[in-house]
Amino acid sequence: MTVPPTEPVEALAETGSKPAASEQSTVSRRTVLGAAGAGAGLAAAGFAGGWAVGRTDSGPHGDQVVPFRGTHQAGIVTEAQDRLHFAAFDVVTDDRAAVVDLLQKWTVAAERMTRGEEVSPDGATGLGDYVPPSDTGEALGLSPAHLTLTIGFGPGLFGPSAAYPDRKDRFGLAARKPAGLTDLPAFAAEKIEPLRSYGDICIQACANDPQVAVHAIRNLARIGVGIVSVRWSQLGFGRTSATTRSQETPRNLFGFKDGTNNIRSDETDDLGKWVWVSEDDNPPAAQWMTGGSYLVTRRIRMDIEPWDRANLLEQEDIIGRTKRAGAPLGQENEFDTPDFQISTGSAPMIPRNSHVAITNPQNRGGVRILRRGYNFTDGSDGFGHLDAGLFFIAFNRDSHKQFIPMQQDISRKDAMTEYLIPNASAHFAVPPGLKPGEYWGQHLFA
């Protein structure tokens, strides 16, 4: 597939600006339908509603497109969207050529959907009355909603893994496995459910419209039938991180601001140090990962009901910040640097076992990660308790030096773990972005 060069992904994310109209793709069939359908109520106002609302403006969509190609994959430092559909797939074939063919088809479909187009021209209705449509059609009339699609590869694609300990090197990729790609170790206080964890391939769909994100994963899964199967998936709402300066820090389901010290897209030095994989990080056979990143996911159920019965002082001591302003305890403003030397006279103002004290870069040798998580609510557990919490997503250059040591300390020392039940976990290698004409995974399988 040959496509015209586009503006690098990181340029949009770093500035928070939108591409000029001249840089957008041609108006799509879905764009025309969206403009025509605006009067019929296809675009509900506002983003604060639930899954049935939150539609973006369905007028001209030039400013709703995030470039698919660039130095790095979109969906990492891109300004965090409000909705998520994340899916992990098992590869169910041993045919290497079939996997490559699927990755090529996925790339075409993914790029089209991020432009607000159907997976193939007129795919929802134009292939004939007696042919199954190639596009499921539920995104007709909707804008691209800043859709980004980010792919990653799990340890099981390269050989034995936690999910499949007896698996062989089916595709001849063992020598190309990146040094940092291993299954995450077990952590204290977690209850990992294997069928909600792991995976050979992951796709992260983020958008400002939930139906656009769901449509993207649904159609990629449909294209993959017989080659891959969905192992697990997760819907998310209400981003729990900010990746650009223009975004306010959001709140998690405990009611506290989350991700105040997250790496922002304009912190290029820190991105190079803590997020992007360097040429020096891998042997020659794994250089396909240079410019990529490692993706960690954790489904963390929050013990909502006991938390809601804790008094405000206890909640703030556990987090280490004030609830309303998000300021470090003992200070006034959210972005004040935490001062761990301030004392009440008998104890530190910010408790040593608070979440801020455990995770702040000051106490971790400067180590940082880029967070991109989402809230989730998946009904109740049958006992009247909400199955709700944080679907944690993080990108880092080396999970073994960044995420894993931090998580080991959180699981053993953080007072907040009393209210958390991590029950799913996965680790993926996310390759760099695509140049014109390239497909997902091309340099891995070449």
pTM comes to 0.86
Please give the pLDDT value at position 382. Answer: 83
Please give the pLDDT value at position 61. Answer: 61
Who wins on pLDDT, 38 or 372? Answer: 372
Q: How far is CA 36 from CA 30, 43, 427, in A?
A: 10, 11, 43
Structure tokens at 224: 């993959």
Q: Which residues pair with 236 in a beta bridge?
A: 84
The string of pLDDT tens digits covering residues 28-58 is: 333 333 333 333 332 333 323 333 233 343 3
CA distance 441 to 433: 10
Yes or no: say if 231 and 89 are a contact pair by the CB < 8 Å rule: yes
The string of pLDDT tens digits covering residues 294-306 is: 999 999 999 999 9
The string of pLDDT tens digits covering residues 105-117 is: 999 999 999 999 9
The DSSP call for residue 159 is: S
CA distance 51 to 10: 29
CA-based nearest residue to 68, from 107, 118, 31: 107
Structure tokens at 3: 């496509």
CA distance 117 to 111: 9
Residue written as token pair 């500035």:
15
Report, as an integer, the average pLDDT of 210-215: 98
